[in-house]
Copies of this chain bind each other. A is one copy, B any other.
Amino acid sequence: MAKDKAPRRPRAEPPKGFRDHFGAEVTGRRAMLDTIAGVYHRHGFDPLETSAVETVEALGKFLPDVDRPNEGVFAWQEDAEADRPGDWLALRYDLTAPLARVAAQYRNDLPSPYRRYAMGPVWRNEKPGPGRFREFYQCDADTVGAGSVAADAEICAMLADTLEAVGIARGDYIVRVNNRKVLNGVMEVAGVLDPADPERFSAERGIVLRAIDKLDRLGPDGVRALLGEGRKDESGDFTRGAGLGAEQAEVVMGFMDARRETGAATLARLHALAGASAIGLEGVQELETIAELLAAQGYGADRIVIDPSVVRGLGYYTGPVFEAELTFEILDDKGRRRQFGSVAGGGRYDDLVRRFTGQSVPATGVSIGVDRLLAALRERGRAGAASAGPVVVTVMDRERMADYLAMAGELRRAGIRAEVYLGNPKNFGNQLKYADKRGSPVAVIQGADEAARGTVVLKDLILGARIAEGASLEEWKARPAQQAVPRTDLVAAVRAMLEQG
């Protein structure tokens, strides 16, 4: 086979954790992003597209460290210049960090509040695994410069609208809303937050947050163990806990369990739990305002609910946090029924821009996991049909290529997707196999005989595919497998076949 004795050939594969997207996958995602952009646009959000590459210092969080600067991100160092070492650059790991940079850089030019949306790939330098990729799409909407929780309510309502616009039925999703301030109030009541010394207990609070975030996976007992001394998992690995006493832990557990039948009852319960703390009270009041604004717009508990179990892992949230979950069941890898789960999340982060300017700028936003949402739509059979293959004009006589090109051109001018077979035409069977592989609905054939008679033969490949799929030949009796039509009727006859479907 191989004739070269050249140096070792490169492997024909992408790096581990990266992948390629073909055909309908690409157009399906594009269609979904266009729909989402339409909803965001109607809400007054403007598109922003930042570069894929940022300086590591602007990205923050991952600070350069001579040995291992690229923990979690893909990073590299620029060439040194005469007077200074090269900057460390990195691929963006989300769309929020670049927004914070833009909001700081253009703070004098952008409208305030600044509503923007962004969609595109982000990159994570993590160990790839099944279903875990190192490049994936995000689709974010954020409002920068609005301190009012009306901005959070707007994001939640828009998130619900977006899910319905892309094809998730009402009832198949729920947007759950919580507030970090309430959680902080609970922490204060539990004695792991000291308003006079906010840095104190920060390690413990980190563990508490992560523990709460794992409620789904570990159950109440697992979380309680992590709130206390720690937890040994099935593999025997020990995770150190937050070291809370039993009474302290119960305050936190009570918070996660605070959801009641109605939003009002949940809010009353949260008030009872955290109202003794100033920050906790503020949080409860914010949730009340959000609930009122949403109710006034008709977003009821069938779409958006207050749910204290939502905490969102990221450290930077400072107020309301929210999450959209799809509630229908799917079968997991092991054939067990489970809920589809989270497809979007976000919240208020009032301190990201301050890193650059020293001035706090209120901001809130949401990020939709595009790939997960697409998977969900596929699961619901609403991902949009695979795009139809082209009409294939076959080549019976390679000297008459110009005639075949003319046929394809006529079809295209009539809006019909069409192409001429451009492989080696010698084996006609290969041409029909090719048309099959393309999902072509119709093959156009014109040999010397047909040309002499001024006709073309149209072969119905949809029919062929249906028969292969099991439709009985009887059903298709009235439908000819192929027909000769006058050359001048080519476009009309093909269109009729396509409409017959």
Interface residues of A (CB under 8 A from B): 1-4, 6, 9-15, 18-23, 25-27, 30, 37, 41-44, 46-55, 57-58, 60, 70, 74-76, 78, 87, 89, 91, 101-102, 104-105, 111-113, 115, 121, 123, 134-135, 143, 145-148, 150-151, 153-154, 292-293, 296-297, 354-359, 387, 390, 392, 398, 401-403, 405-406, 409, 412, 415-424, 434, 437-438
Contact = CB atoms under 8 A, between A and B. Distances in A.
A contact face: mostly helix, strand, loop, or mixed: mixed
7 contacts: A9-B357, A13-B55, A20-B51, A26-B49, A52-B135, A53-B135, A113-B421
B20 A48 contact: yes
A15 B89 contact: yes
B48 A22 contact: yes
Query: How many copies of the shown chain assemble into the complex?
Result: 2
A418 B41 CA distance: 9
Nearest to A354: B4
A434 to B, nearest CB: 6
A12 B104 contact: yes
A5 to B, nearest CB: 10
Determine which residue in A4, A153, A402 has the highest number of CB atoms from chain B within 10 A of its CB, and name it: A402
B50 A23 contact: no
Contacts of A25: 49
A47 B2 CA distance: 30
Contacts of A154: 405, 420, 422
A305 to B, nearest CB: 18
A446 B9 CA distance: 71
Nearest to A400: B296
Given A76-B75, A76-B76, A358-B2, A402 B292 contact: yes
Nearest to A6: B358
Given A420-B150, A423-B113, A10 B75 contact: no
B60 A10 contact: yes
A293 B402 contact: yes
Contact of A417 (B41, B54, B296, B424): B41
Closest 5 CB pairs of A and B: A44-B419, A2-B358, A296-B402, A12-B104, A18-B51
